[in-house]
Amino acid sequence: MATAPFRRQSPIHISRCTLAASFDFLGDRASLLILRSALFGVRRYEDFHTEIGIPRTILADRLKRLVASGLMVRQDYKSDGSRPRKEYLLTEMGEALRLPFLAMRQWSDHWVGQGRTPPMRLMRKSDGSEVAVAFVDHAGRIVPPDDLMAGFEDWASIPAAES
């Protein structure tokens, strides 16, 4: 996709932008780190706390918000000899964040990783070949960035309160 032409405002008003809405929906850094850990399989409060290292009050609040938003569900588990506790599992909506998070990881490996070997590679199970997140058309063909363009709805530039 070529460099965007100069504009004084975005072609999509921020009140209508689904990307901006997703930032509000997902929350702050702590919420994103919880989701990241959950995508790796972390489920239990103590494990989240140990891994992320945020204060317990913030962790409890963010887990509550992620459950309320439908990104996670809370369910009981019981280890032998201990009382029942709660664990947090991603819902289908939460699992659907895997692709955008992997795209962000790929971007970060390239631009933020400062030339270091990335800590993780995506590989195809069947043959071990490396996989990248890419734009793909409906026929399954990879679309190079210079062949991308965006189409905008006429109503998208109008603030939501004005329609």
Condensed to tens digits (0 to 9), the pLDDT of residues 84-116 reads: 999 999 999 999 999 999 999 999 999 998 889
Does 108 lie in the same domain as 78? no
Mean pLDDT of 68-75: 98
Whether 40 shows a pLDDT value over 70: the answer reads yes
Q: Does 161 fall in a domain?
A: no
Mean pLDDT of 24-51: 97
Q: Does 24 fall in a domain?
A: yes
At 52-65, the pLDDT tens digits run 999 999 999 999 99
Whether 3 shows a pLDDT value over 80: the answer reads no
Answer yes or no: are the C-beta atoms of 161 and 17 closer than 8 Å. Answer: no
At 132-155, the pLDDT tens digits run 999 999 999 999 989 999 999 999
* Run of H or E residues at 75: strand 72-77
Q: Does 163 fall in a domain?
A: no
Residue 102's domain spans which residues?
Answer: 97-148
The mean pLDDT value of the chain amounts to 93
| Token pair listed for 74 | 């809370």
Count: domains in the chain: 2
Whether 1 shows a pLDDT value over 70: the answer reads no
Q: Does 157 fall in a domain?
A: no
CA distance 29 to 64: 15
Q: Does 47 fall in a domain?
A: yes
Does 79 lie in the same domain as 23? yes
Q: Does 5 fall in a domain?
A: no
Residue 120 pLDDT class (50, 70, 90 cuts): very high
Answer yes or no: are the C-beta atoms of 119 and 106 closer than 8 Å. Answer: no
- 74, β-bridge pairs: 88
Q: Does 7 fall in a domain?
A: no
